[in-house]
Amino acid sequence: MKIIDAHMHFYNIPGFDELAKKAGHENTAEHYLRACKENNVVLSIAMGNDSEEPSLFGGTTPRVPNLSGKFDYKNYNQPPEIAYCAGVKSEELTLENAKATAQEFERYVLTPQCVGIKLYPGYNHVYVYDPVHFPLYELAEKYNLPVVIHTGDTATSTAILKYAHPLTVDEVAVRYPNVRFVIAHCGNPWFADATEVAAKNENVFLELSGLLGGQFAGDIFYQKHQSYFSYLRMWLDYLDRYDKVIYGTDWPLINIKSYIEVMKLVIPTIHHQEFFYDNAMRIFPKVRELLK
- Amino acid letter, 202: E
User: Residue with CB nearest Zn ion?
Assistant: 250
Applying CB under 5 A, the span of 68-76, 158-166, 246-254, 281-289 interacting with Zn ion comes to 246-254
List Cβ neighbours of 257 (8 Å cut-off, separation of 6 or more). 35, 38, 39, 218
Residue 206 CA to residue 184 CA, distance in Å, equals 6
Query: Which residues 212-231 are close enough to bind Zn ion by CB under 5 A?
Result: none
* Candidates 112-120, 131-139, 248-256, 275-283; binding stretch for Zn ion (CB under 5 A): 248-256
β-partners of residue 80 are none
Alpha carbons 8 and 252: distance in angstroms, whole number: 7
Query: Is residue 106 at the binding interface for Zn ion, with CB under 5 A as the rule?
Result: no
Shortest reach from residue 210's CB to Zn ion, in Å: 6
Whole-number minimum distance, CB 47 to Zn ion, in Å? 5
- Please tell me whether residue 207 binds Zn ion under the rule CB under 5 A: no
If the CB atoms of residues 173 and 184 are measured against Zn ion, the closer one turns out to be 184
104 binds Zn ion (CB under 5 A): no
Answer yes or no whether residue 274 interacts with Zn ion by CB under 5 A.
no
Return the range that interacts with Zn ion (CB under 5 A); candidates 92-100, 105-113, 153-161, 247-255.
Answer: 247-255
Q: Of 170, 196, 250, 274, which one interacts with Zn ion (CB under 5 A)?
A: 250
Given the complex with Zn ion, which of 85 and 98 has the nearer CB atom?
A: 85
Q: Round to whole Å and give the CA distance between 116 and 47.
A: 9
Residue 145-184 contact track with Zn ion, rule CB under 5 A, x = bound: ----------------------------------------
Neighbours of 97 (CB within 10 A): 18
Question: CB of residue 119 vs Zn ion: minimum separation in angstroms?
Answer: 12
Binding site for Zn ion (CB under 5 A): 250
